[in-house]
Structure 1
Amino acid sequence: MTDPVSFARSLRQNQTPAERRFWALLEPWRSSGWHFRRQAPMGPFVVDFVCKRSKLIFEIDGDSHYGADGVARDARRSGYLAGLGYRVVRFSNDDVMGNADGVGVELMGILGAPGTPT
């Protein structure tokens, strides 16, 4: 397997449509000073979006995450990241693509209104 940094770089260059849309949904917060990284290596994993200062991770999950193997893998991954002090929030690809307004409302509940300090 390639090193985590190269792997993360390749994921950033080949984002899914849901990841691109979620990045756009984060724009009001990013513009007001929140710093998010896309496809960031964290230990043995690469997380979709992370705000290290706020210890917050957003994962955008496709179909592979909803089978028994995917659920077990995600539980191990979330446990590891929680052990580092991070809160992991998951959205499905379907939510991001089909209910962007609802995802935006959830982001407001988690991050507060854009422009609020981190």
Structure 2
Amino acid sequence: MRSNFNRKYQTEYRRKLRNEATLYERTLWSKLRGRQLEGRKFRRQAGIGKYIADFYCPSEKMIVELEGPYHYTDQVNERDKERELYFKKLGIKVLRIPNPHSAEALRNVLNEISSQFRPE
């Protein structure tokens, strides 16, 4: 059976996305990596099916997508809905979060993510 995760043909593109991460992606990743958020493991630029998620937490079956101005167009909005429907069919929850523009906003983002965790 073919895996839905991290398909080989995506390897170079996922690497490119990691290397060209936005300031907001790098900032959030610095707080998610190494199980810093309540011991949950996150993967950055994780391939799921034909899509690549900004951050994926396998134990929570949750994707965190950072959204900047690029996401606020009709065309991108339609693609985002298609992606979200695909993830939902796999039982994966998608949390869409505006880019955190300050330290306080970053704290709020981390609180929002952890509030979605199932109790241990």
- Give the TM-score taking structure 1 as reference length: 0.82
CA deviation after TM superposition for structure 1 residue 69, in Å? 0.8
Structure 1 counterpart of 2:55, from 49, 55, 64: 49
Alignment correspondent of 2:35: 30
What is the alpha-carbon distance in structure 2 between the residues aligned to residue 79 and residue 55 of structure 1? 14
For the Cα contact (< 8 Å) 2:47–2:53, is it kept in 1? Answer: yes
Deviation digits for residues 8-62 of structure 1 (CA, Å, limit 9, x no counterpart) = 11111111101011112325x8135311100011111110000112111000112
Structure 1 counterpart of 2:68, from 19, 44, 62: 62
For the Cα contact (< 8 Å) 1:21–1:97, is it kept in 2? Answer: no
**Could you list the runs of 5+ residues in structure 2 that have no partner in the other structure?**
1-8
* Count of matched residue positions in the alignment of Structure 1 and Structure 2: 110
For the Cα contact (< 8 Å) 2:45–2:52, is it kept in 1? Answer: yes
Q: Give the residue type in structure 1 aligned to 2:98.
A: S
Alignment correspondent of 1:105: 111
Q: Give the residue type in structure 2 aligned to 1:30.
A: R
Question: Deviating runs (4+, > 4 A) in structure 1?
Answer: none
CA RMSD in angstroms comes to 2.1
Q: Secondary structure at the match of 1:91?
A: strand
Alignment correspondent of 2:5: none
% identical equivalent positions:
33
Alignment correspondent of 1:85: 91
Q: Give the residue type in structure 1 aligned to 2:62.
A: L
What is the alpha-carbon distance in structure 2 between the residues aligned to residue 81 and residue 23 of structure 1? 21
For the Cα contact (< 8 Å) 1:40–1:47, is it kept in 2? Answer: yes
Q: Secondary structure at the match of 1:8?
A: helix
Q: Secondary structure at the match of 2:59?
A: coil
What is the alpha-carbon distance in structure 2 between the residues aligned to residue 104 and residue 53 of structure 1? 17
- Give the TM-score taking structure 2 as reference length: 0.80
* Relative contact order higher in (CA < 8 Å, ≥ 6 apart): 1
